[in-house]
Amino acid sequence: MKKIIIDNIKTIFYALLIALFIRSFIFQPFYIPSSSMEPSLLSGDRLFVSKYTYGYSRHSLPFSPNIYNKRLFKKKPKVGDIIVFKTPSDNRTDYIKRLIGLPGDTIQILNKELYINNIKVQREEILNPTVLNCGSETFKTISFLETLSNGKTYVASYRKNGTMLNTDVYKVPENHYFFMGDNRDCSKDSRFLTSVGYVNFNNLVGKARFIFFSNNIKKGSFIKFWKWNKSIRLKRFLKKIT
């Protein structure tokens, strides 16, 4: 009996070690609680983030222990990547946004249009009208297929009425990055310097890869499996994130 208990404890211990290794160095699951990345990511999506894409920092480990202040096996991110990062304000909260500006870039919104290094980002309006969420609010949007300098395309949506018209010029510091949500008028991101601002390279956690589960939280929570027939979004299962 004693041997069985010891064997079970060893099995659990090794299983936890394997799970910790996978979570820290390969893939980590994340849950999307907000609407800031609509229409690319929806509230209620559950996705996997690759931890190895940009190398490893202390934020690769659970609880972000302050044991090392550099990045190992580092690889530079590309504009357009959807990335999970720790917010600079507390180095604890996970945010997920799209990378818009690299170190040294200038970012500005002029007359509702995005400029990077004084060059207007190419965009094509999507004619189908869209309604997006912002917390408990819904609003009509104008959506565009935006194309960045490296050819990366994505859909960005702007509130039809009351969108951000103009901003100051944001100059991205060395070793930092500038992020924005695709739901441009419902996203706390690098445009808000006091709460998010420029994100240090070491704060990057990983790149969003694919959705493994999704349910509409307005129709039922993940825990309420008896409502899955109404809340689950099967078409989003195993969807690659771009």
Q: Catalytic positions, please?
A: 36, 97
| Residue 121: alpha-carbon gap to chain centroid | 21
Contact by Cβ (8 Å): 116, 110 = no
**Residue 83 phi/psi, 5° resolution?**
-130, 140
Contact between residue 126 and residue 147 where contact means Cβ atoms under 8 Å apart: no
Q: Which two tokens stand for residue 240?
A: 């690659």
For 7, the enclosing helix (H) or strand (E) is helix 2-25
Tokens 């893939």 belong to residue: 27
* Residue 106 near residue 118 (C-beta atoms within 8 A): yes
Stretch (H or E) spanning 230: helix 228-231
User: CA 170, CA 64: separation in Å to the nearest integer?
Assistant: 28
CA distance 54 to 46: 21
Look at the alpha carbons of 70, 74, 59, 42 in this order and tell me if their dihedral is positive or negative. Answer: positive
